[in-house]
Amino acid sequence: MLAKETDLKQQLRAVKQALEQQKADYSANQKKLDEQKRQQQELMSQAEQLLAQLRPVFARFNELYLADVSPATLVASADIVERLARANEALEQRSKLDSALKTALEQFETILSKDAGPEFLDRLQHEQRQLPEHAGKRQQLPILHSLLQILKDAQQQLLEMGENIGGDLKKFFTVFSDINRRIALQSRRLSEAVADDLVLEGISKSEVRILSTIDELGFWQPLKHFAKLYDDWGASGKALPSDQYLNALADVVDLLRADEQYSIESLLRLELHLSEGGSELVIKNDRQLLESSSHGMAYLILCKYLLAFTRLLRGDAKVAIHWPIDEIGTLAYHNVEKLFAACSSNNIVIVGAFPNPESDVLMLFSHRYLIEPDQHEPAKRRLKRIQPKVSRLAERLASKQQEAS
C-alpha cells in the first residue's frame, strides 16, 4: 500500500511538472503568435499604404497605351518602395514632356498653317488620319520627322537656287560697277585730251564729260544694297541668309526685267560744258547744241571734241587718221582753215566731197580728184586728178615769188 502511494505521488509530481511545462510552452507559443500577428498586421498596414499609393499610379498607367512599350529592367535588390518611387518619377517626367511636346506641336501647327502650302497641309492631315485612334502626340513625331525631311530637302534646293540667283546678281552688279568706274575714268581721260589746238571764238572754256547713267537706273541702288548683303552673308559663314538679304533679293528681282538688254551706249551720256560770254552752258543733245550756237560754231565745237576722242583712241600710235567730213563747205573759210590746221597738227587727214570743183576750200586739200563718166564707157566712172582754179592775182603773186627766188 505504501509502495503504491509512493508511486502515485511520483506520478502526481510528474503530471504537475508536465502541466507546468505545457503552461510554459503555451505561454511561449502565445507570445510568439502574438508577435507574428503584430508583424502580419504591420505588413498588412504597409501593404494597404502601398496599395493606396499604387492605385493612382495604376490609374495613370491605364490612361497610357503601353502595348508596344518594353518594361524597364530593374535589379533584384530594388524593393517595391523604390519601384514605386521610380514609377512616380517616370510618370511625372513623362507628364512634363507630354505637356512640352503638346505646346511645341501646337506652335508648330500654328506656324505651318501660316507658312506651309495647301499640299503640304493636306499631306500632314492625311498621315495623321492613318494613325490608330489611341495614338497620341508622340505617335505624330515620326510623321513630322519625315515631313520635315521633305521641307529640309526643299529648303536645300531653294537655297542652292537662291545662291545661284544671288551669285548671278552679284556678277551683274560687278560688271555694271566696273562699267561705272571705267566711264568715270574715261571721262577724266577725255577731259585731259581736250586741247587748245582748235580755238573757238567767244568760248573761254570747253570741257567734255562722259557721265554714267547707271546710277539713274531704278534697280541700281537696291542692287548695290543686295550686293553688300550678299558679301556679308558669305563672310558670316552662316548656312542661311538673313531676312534683310531675302527682302533685298525680292526687291531686285521685282525691279529687274528678264528681257531687259543694255548696251554701252545706253549706259552713258555725253555732255559738253562751255563758258561763253561769262555764262556756263551744258549741252546734252543736238537740239541744245544748235540752240546755243550758230551752225558753224556748233560744227567746230563737235570737231574740237572729236579731236579729243581721236587723240584718246589713238594713244601713242604713230599712225595717220582719216576723217570723212561732210558739209565742210558750209563753214566760213577761216574756220575751215582752223580745222585743217588743228587736224594737221594731230596727224589727221580730212577727206571730203564737193559738188563744185572750183570751191576755194579745195585749196586746203593736198590731193583733189574729180569723178566723172568715162567718155568711151559712160556707165563707168573715172577718177581724174584736178587742180582748183587759181585766180589771176594768185598766179601773178606766185610768179613774182618764183622770180624773186
| CB-based contacts of 13, cutoff 8 Å, min separation 6 | none
Which residue do the cell numbers 527682302 mark? 247
Q: At what angle do helices 2-62 and 80-115 cross, to 10 degrees?
A: 10
pLDDT in tens, 10-47: 888 888 888 888 888 898 899 999 999 999 999 898 88
DSSP secondary structure code for residue 377 in this structure: -
Lowest mean pLDDT among 135-149, 216-230, 327-341, 379-393: 379-393
> What pLDDT does residue 210 have?
82
Average pLDDT over residues 245-259: 83
**3-class DSSP state of 375:** coil
How does the average pLDDT of the chain come out, rounded?
Answer: 80
Cell of 215: 546710277
Cell of 222: 537696291
Number of Cβ within 10 Å of residue 123's Cβ equals: 16
Bridge partners, residue 350, by sequence: 323
| CB-based contacts of 281, cutoff 8 Å, min separation 6 | 272, 273, 274, 275, 292
Under 8 Å between Cβ of 276 and 202: yes
pLDDT in tens, 64-111: 766 566 666 666 666 777 887 887 888 888 888 888 888 887 887 777
Task: Judge residue 35's burial from the number of C-beta atoms within 10 Å of its C-beta, 0-12 exposed, 13-18 middle, 19 or more buried.
Answer: exposed
